[in-house]
Structure 1
Amino acid sequence: MKFNNLQSCHLGPEISPEQFIPEHFFLFLLKGSMISYDGYKHYRMNPGDYCIARKNHLVRYTKYKDDGKFEKVIITFDEPFLRKFLERHSYTAGPTDNDNSFLFIKEDLLIENFVRSLEPYYNGTETLDDDFVDIKREELLMILLKNNPDLKDIFFNFNIPHKIDLEHFMNQNYKFNISLERFAFMTGRSLSSFKRDFKMIFNMAPGKWLIKKRLQEAYFLLEKEDKKPSDIYIDLGFEDLSHFSFAFKKEFGVSPSEIARA
């Protein structure tokens, strides 16, 4: 499949830059490749692949450019849009046991033609007005539901996360750089109950525990896996190398580069 003239574009609300998916979105990769990790599985995308990224999931992305470019089409299906869609179309969500963060869609000529139909509107200067954006989003949603009926159980389930095992979840997802409010939401708790339950389980405040846990993992990677500080700090939830180095030395009394050289 060739989409040589189509550049990156985005229909619908912007996606949060943090490692949390707040709304479902359709992703079509035009150029470059991408590997994503949700704490459980790795997902790889190549040019021409398309999928649904699911809301209320934690994901870390690693993007690889091709000839200096990484081009994609992102179309967000936010909850207000989906609820308006249900006012005109009759769908009922049922239970699903599929918990994958990315749902890959089989090759579909209708989807590929839909993506091509966006080309005239994205030449670097033109944009779609708001009314037309919703029309195009509805067109894509109907195509997806026609050929993948089980997606209704994903799109139209508006339940918030239920209360889950806090200890297991945090030990699995401590590397993700998200706020305590997000952690609380994803474990089915208010922020106050999250902090209270966390202290009971770990005997430590969540912010302090997250730093300590990430630094312990960093020490292991530096000492046992011969990793470099610059290779691991982002994956461990630190925003910059200097913050990571400062916290590491405060915890262990030596800099991460000293451990790496030992």
Structure 2
Amino acid sequence: MVIDHKKIDLFGKSFIQKVVLKPPFEYTFPVSEQACFLYMLAGEMQYQFDDDHINIPANYSLFLNCINSGKQIHNSNSNSNGEIVILTFHPDILKKVYARELPPLLQRPRNTISNLSGEKINNDFLIQKYIEGLLFYFENPSLVNDDILILKLKEIILLLSQTRNAEAIQVILSQLFSPATYTFKQIIEAHLFSQVSIEELARKTNLSVSSFKREFTRLYNDSPANYIKTKRLEKAAGLLLASDNRVTDIAFDCGFNDLANFTRSFHDKYNVTPTNYRLKARQ
């Protein structure tokens, strides 16, 4: 239930909102070409996409695009009201503000294949102070003008580019300007030999872990862990024969981050250690 709602527009479109919600509440995001930054001032919310749930407590935030459907926030457990500040990023307004050149955060990252559409941002002191500054304008709306709002837009873009989540935010924002939907298999093949976990691959495909595993098994007729490990070991076996690289380097190049685990897995598959596999082949 909405108790209070205040809004500030930029160029005729919603830019900043402050919403006070009384639990239980639920909001499903409509499909649209925009991205949203949601900052939890007080209380907490749960972000749900597919069957994945992420808690967003006070002073934490959520960044997401609304190009895909199925995303919602809700809260049914808290006894206290939730207060949320929402900043909306419209691609046409961003192009107008950055008429000469889009900043790096709005450009598509190189060599990044991902359908990621949501990212939780941890408590960040500078963003917290930025949000506190925005509250002043809700209390003094007569002082608001387009020039100030453009500065606030550029400021949040700069702050987001300096967070530890900048890479994920760049992927999400860039989709507004050069949308590209990658297939499930394209994402898997692109990261097959990278040192990424199943959880990270699920995020890159914009699925929960359980949905990712189901989709993987349907497409590959194998579990993600077993298929990925098998492919990495096969590549490692080929490199052991085709190169003089150290076993340690080959292990890391094939996506293993632990030499002992690589050696054990290699022995389980080929009944010989990597070193002896290379020696036997050359003899």
**TM-score normalised according to structure 1 size:** 0.50
* Greater per-residue strand proportion: 2
Bigger Rg over Cα: 2
Taking structure 2 as the reference length, the TM-score comes to: 0.46
